[in-house]
Amino acid sequence: MYIYRLQILSSKSYSEEQLNNVIGVSSNFPHADWGIEIIQSDENFSGILVYFLSLLEGKYEKLESIGISREDISIWVLYEYEGQCNMEYDPVSMKKIGENGIVLCISCWEKEGELS
């Protein structure tokens, strides 16, 4: 299972409604100031990245006007694995993240076996 998350954490004060209006979608992740979480059974980093960046690109000035800087924004990949965990990301995706000044966070954990 892959979990992808676009997350905004900021110490500035703004309403979730303001942020929803700027981004164009509503948050579905209650554990951050604002976030979109997508859960998939297959790896689809490039497709999800394109979607997340489409929500942000061209909106950084509006985000800054309500107190959100690029440093407040992160994209997460969370993955539960069995055996070995390998991830590989194409240069185009990595370049797009860098050009947008967005942090990429990766969290992996080994799937717990069944208790006997």
Q: Where are the domains of the chain?
A: 2-110
The rounded distance, in Å, linking the Cα atoms of 102 and 33 is: 16
pLDDT in tens, 7-60: 999 877 788 888 999 999 999 988 888 999 999 988 888 899 999 999 999 999
pLDDT in tens, 26-38: 999 888 889 999 9
Residues in the chain: 116
Q: How far is CA 17 from CA 28, 42, 70, in A?
A: 13, 32, 19
- Right CATH for 2-110 from 3.30.70, 1.10.10, 1.10.8, 1.20.120: 3.30.70
pTM: 0.86
